[in-house]
Amino acid sequence: MSELPPCPECACEYVYEDGPLLICPECAHEWAAADSAAKVYRDANGNELQDGDMVTLIKDLKVKGTSKTVKVGTKVRINRLVDEDHDIDCKIDGIGAMKLKTEFVKKA
Ligand SMILES: [Zn+2]
């Protein structure tokens, strides 16, 4: 039983896999099967990160839209890892909810 998603272009359901790609037989659209495997998130040292991990900032980061800076060495608990440019969804004491990049943290 196929669990492949329908074609994002024409909604055809007869999509098939070809290596890392998904291909639509109707409109020949090809795209990466990105969601078929869970994304692995890694810190600046290449260690795997999970939801709930404690991480430490490895550089000062300006908080967008404010004059505040989160200092290097600040400990942050990962609320959730998200598949976005800023992939760590977290909350920082004194700052509030914030998004960070995994490349700027290391596992505490
Ligand atoms: Zn299609």
pLDDT tens across 70-105, in order? 999 999 999 999 988 999 999 998 889 999 999 999
Return the pLDDT at 37.
58
Residue 70 CA, ligand 1 centroid: distance in Å: 46
Return the H-helix or E-strand segment holding 100: strand 96-100
Cα–Cα distance for residue pair 66/64, rounded to 1 Å: 6
* pTM for this entry: 0.64
Tens digits of per-residue pLDDT, 21-54?
A: 999 999 999 998 765 556 889 999 999 999 999 9
Residue 3 CA, ligand 1 centroid: distance in Å: 16
Residue 96 CA, ligand 1 centroid: distance in Å: 43
Residue 39 CA, ligand 1 centroid: distance in Å: 25
List, in order, residues 6 or more apart from 50 with CB less than 8 Å away: 41, 78, 81
